[in-house]
Every structure is written in C-alpha cells, then in structure tokens.
A and B are shown apart, each in its own frame.
Chain A
Amino acid sequence: MENYFTTEEINTQKSLIKKGYFIFDIKEKKLLNEIRDKTLFHVKDWFKKRKIKLKINTNILNNIHKFISIENLNSLRLHVYNKLNLDRKFHENYFFIGKQYIDILCGNEVSMQKKVNLSIQLPKDDSSLLPVHSDVWQGDSPYELVLWIPLVNCAKTKSMYILPKKINKKFQDKLFKYNSTSKIFDEVKGKVKWLDIKYGQGLIFTQNIMHGNVVNLEKTTRWSFNCRFKSLLSPYSGKTIGDFFSPITIRAATRLGMNYEEPKKK
C-alpha cells in the first residue's frame, strides 16, 4: 500500500492517529476575529433586550459570569447559537479556519454539521457538564472529526480533556464491567490530558476516544464552538446527511460522476 503524502500531511496525520487530537495555530485570524465580533454583537443584543447595557470589550467573554446567572445562561447561549447558525458566513468562516487541516485529516470533499455548537462554561457551574464519553457509542460515526475553536484561552478545567489514546481501549472496555462511565472517570481522572488551547488556536479531535469536561474551577468563563466534519462519502451512522450533516465541498469529478448518463437507445 502506497502512501503518497507530503511531509506536512504525514506529520499532521501522525499526530491525530497517535494522540487522537491535533492543535494548530489559526492562520486566518481575520475570520476568527469576525466570529468573535459576531458573538459579541449577539451577546450585547441579548443583554440589551433585557435592558442591561453591557460594555463590550475583548475580555467580556472571559468575565461574562459577572453579568449573568446560571439560570439565565442557557437563554443567552441559545440566543447566540441560533443567531450565529442562521448566518451562512459564520459557517463558512468556521470551515475555512480549519480547512487546511480538515482537508488533510478528513479529505478534500467533506460534509459539515449543519449547526455549530456553542458551549459556555461559567466558573463553578455544574449545569452543563459532559461526563466522560465517546460520541461514537451513541450514534456518531467513527469517521467523524470535531473542529473545536475557543473564543478565550482555555486550559485545565476551563478546557476539555481527552484520554491518552494508549489507555483509552483498556478503560473503555470497563464500561461493561462498571455499567457506568462515572466509575471509569474515577479511575482515569489522574491520567487524562487537559488540552491547553489559546484564542487563535484550533483543535481537531476524534470522538472515538473518551473525552469530556468537569466543573470549570478556573476564574474565567469558557466560550468554545465545536462542529463535526467527515469525508463526504465515508460511512454515516445515526447522524446522517441532510438531517445533521450537509455536503459543503463536492468537487467536479464527483459532480460529473453523479450526473453521468449512459448512452441511451432512442
């Protein structure tokens, strides 16, 4: 079997296969800043509707917990999520931020999750936790990758963790013994890798490996987006094309193929 890859392609893929994730510096800073500015606009708008004048600056996202209660958080999150997801340019920017590496890791014809998820985690908030899991166990295809982009610097409990790939298998097999993931987490919590990702960086990871988050014990709020990508014609699972994914880069050869007609007897 030949592997006709460039050195960059080999190194990027090695990283994902070896560790289960790949962190990169975003070259298209302008697109990222546009996403952040749009987010800030919708945040301001949500507060304005509640007659609260919020002074917008680049640090407001980190400090949003000073202005909102946990009870109102989901309303703010949904407002920003819905507004952003109505915006095609937001989707396009999101893809182009990671395109270079999605091309290398998924393929150059891809489908993209129709709605980019937004996660906001206030310090000490236990209402939006994601216990240790692997999305593939509950209907995601093992051929999907997640592009995770933070709007603030994320580290330690403000970020997400992933299990080192080499111990993932051993611990995921314990699922049947324990019948619960919380017992698995108790065993692995000292061994997980907390991902340190700054604003201006992106993360691509596989959901085949267990990951999750805990209560944010840092002093500032996490804002991060996540969105799944997969090679257009790789196997789909519970999340299918049309309902969950949409094809975003169908190339000429595939188009020619799908429109090909055999000679017909007249």
Chain B
Amino acid sequence: MKNLKKNSKGYRGYIFSRKIKGLLIPQKVQNLVIRDYANRKKLFFKLSKVEYSFSGSYIMMKSLIKETKTLDGLIIYSINLLPENKSERKYFLNSFLKQKKKIHFALEEIALDNKNKIREIEDIYFVKENSKVI
C-alpha cells in the first residue's frame, strides 16, 4: 500500500447514507466492497464521502467534482448511486471524464474511463431501474 500511496493521488470513495433502491446498506458494508475492489485493482483508496441522507441530495457528489484535480478518480459503491435524473447523471460522469479521471463502480466492477463506456453504464442503469427483482 505504501508504494501505491507514493505514485498516486488516490481514489475517493463515495457511499450513501440513505436507502439504495429501497434497501439500507450499512456504510460499513459499502466501504468494505469499495476497499476490497481497491485492493484487488491495486488502487489507493481514500476515505469515502458520505452522501447526505435527504432524498434527492447529491451535494456530496457535486463537491467531488470540485475535488477532481486532487484525485485520480472515484470509486462509487454501485451504479445505483448515480442520480435518477438522466441529464444530472450524464453531467456528473462527463465532468470527471473531461478531466481524464476514472470512475469505478465497485459492486459491478466496472471502470469508466472514456465516453463510449457511458452507454454501458446507462444500459445497466436502465435495466436496474426498470426490471423487477424476484
């Protein structure tokens, strides 16, 4: 880990404090998934930002855009944490990509490093949103 620290600005984690698709996933569990992903991908993980619990808040996510320069990228717990509003979602993803930063989704193990991949994320988001879990 020490070497990782030396050569990297680090990846900021991002988790939710409110329910995710109707389920309250303990922050500890969200962080564990992120930490495990970071270890396996050899990414230097910096403590997670916790989104506010009020519904519809993406204040912490917006604050990450301002922090971009000091990071290599983000590790978001899951694609499900992206804003429900499509243009807000795209704005957020593009803001990072424009600055050549990577966004990782730990649960789905998907890394977003170019614009073409946004479609893949959108496809998964759409299906997650519109399909039934039985």
Contact = CB atoms under 8 A, between A and B. Distances in A.
B52 A137 contact: yes
Given A137-B54, A138-B53, A139-B50, A238 B63 contact: no
A238 B26 CA distance: 6
Given A238-B26, A240-B26, A243-B26, A137 B63 contact: no
Contact of A179 (B26, B28, B53, B62): B62
B63 A138 contact: no
A139 B27 contact: yes
A69 interface: no
A69 B3 CA distance: 21
Given A139-B17, A243-B28, A179 B63 contact: yes
A44 B63 CA distance: 40
B24 interface: yes
B59 interface: yes
Interface residues of B, number: 15
Interface string A232-265: 0000011010011000000000000000000000
Contacts, number: 34
Given A139-B27, A243-B26, A238 B62 contact: no
A180 B62 CA distance: 9
Majority secondary structure, A binding face: loop
Given A137-B17, A138-B51, A139-B50, 8 more contacts: A138-B17, A138-B50, A138-B53, A139-B17, A139-B18, A179-B62, A238-B26, A243-B28
Interface of B: 17-18, 24, 26-28, 50-54, 57, 59, 62-63
Interface of A: 136-139, 175-176, 179-180, 237-238, 240, 243-244
14 contacts: A137-B17, A137-B53, A137-B54, A138-B17, A138-B50, A138-B51, A138-B52, A139-B53, A179-B62, A179-B63, A180-B63, A238-B26, A240-B26, A244-B28
